[in-house]
């Protein structure tokens, strides 16, 4: 199926979703979807027999600061049955950085959404486990935002004392070095 036919089929499946075809630098079609309609469009893409995008292979974000909308969430979908790939993009405003979770459509979105929240600060409404994934729990800010301060003056913090003595630690290092050589 050609990308124009795929996009036409998608527009027929969700006519009032405000889909917008975007230029693409590769052969995979790219479509912008409004965040208000992303959940419905995602269900259509997964459930329609002529589409069957059953796999969310990638999900990431980009910070376009100072431009508005500030964030773009990008999803790469795969239809194994029809041998198709589709790139969906969702624009998110900087002052209201949130969108609905897609975990009920594609369960693997759980980890991908947590990563985006942890690094960019985009909140996924209804997410089942909104905890930090890559940064420590007490980390302040979102390090992949363009306005994030690069020079950080933070004292290292530990949450619990070391569970071994210095001598045990040195012995473990020595044993490790000997096993590697």
Task: State the pTM of this model.
Answer: 0.78
Which domains are assigned to the chain? 3-153 (3.30.460.80)
**Bond into 66 cis (ω within 30):** yes
Q: How far is CA 34 from CA 14, 37, 154, 168, 178, in A?
A: 12, 6, 38, 57, 58
More confident call, 178 vs 36: 36
Question: Is residue 8 scored above 70 in pLDDT?
Answer: yes
Banded pLDDT at 110 (limits 50, 70, 90): very high
pLDDT in tens, 128-151: 998 888 998 888 889 999 988 876
For residue 134, what pLDDT is reported?
92
Banded pLDDT at 47 (limits 50, 70, 90): very high
Whole-number Å distance between alpha carbons of 120 and 143: 7
pLDDT in tens, 149-175: 876 666 766 666 667 788 888 888 888
Structure-block tokens of residue 135: 């940064």
Structure-block tokens of residue 132: 């930090």
Q: How far is CA 4 from CA 8, 11, 40, 55, 178, in A?
A: 6, 10, 21, 21, 61
Choose the weakest-confidence range: 1-5, 71-75, 77-81. Answer: 1-5
Whole-number Å distance between alpha carbons of 31 and 21: 5
């Amino acid at each position: 199926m050609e990308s124009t036919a795929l996009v036409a089929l998608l527009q027929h499946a969700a006519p009032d979703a405000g889909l917008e075809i975007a230029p693409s630098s590769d052969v995979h079609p790219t479509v912008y979807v409004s965040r208000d309609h992303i959940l419905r469009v995602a269900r259509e893409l997964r459930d329609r027999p002529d589409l069957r995008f059953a796999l969310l292979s990638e999900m990431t974000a980009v910070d376009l600061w100072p431009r508005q909308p500030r964030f773009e969430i990008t999803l790469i979908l795969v239809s194994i049955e029809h041998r198709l790939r589709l790139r969906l993009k969702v624009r998110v405003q900087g002052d209201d950085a949130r969108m609905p979770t897609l975990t009920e459509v594609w369960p693997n979105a759980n980890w991908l959404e947590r990563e985006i929240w942890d690094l960019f600060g985009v909140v996924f409404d209804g997410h089942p486990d909104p905890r930090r994934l890559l940064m420590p729990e007490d980390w302040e800010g979102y390090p992949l935002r363009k306005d994030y301060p690069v020079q950080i003056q933070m004292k290292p913090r530990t949450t619990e004392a070391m569970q071994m003595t210095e001598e045990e630690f040195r012995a473990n290092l020595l044993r490790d070095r000997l096993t590697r050589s």
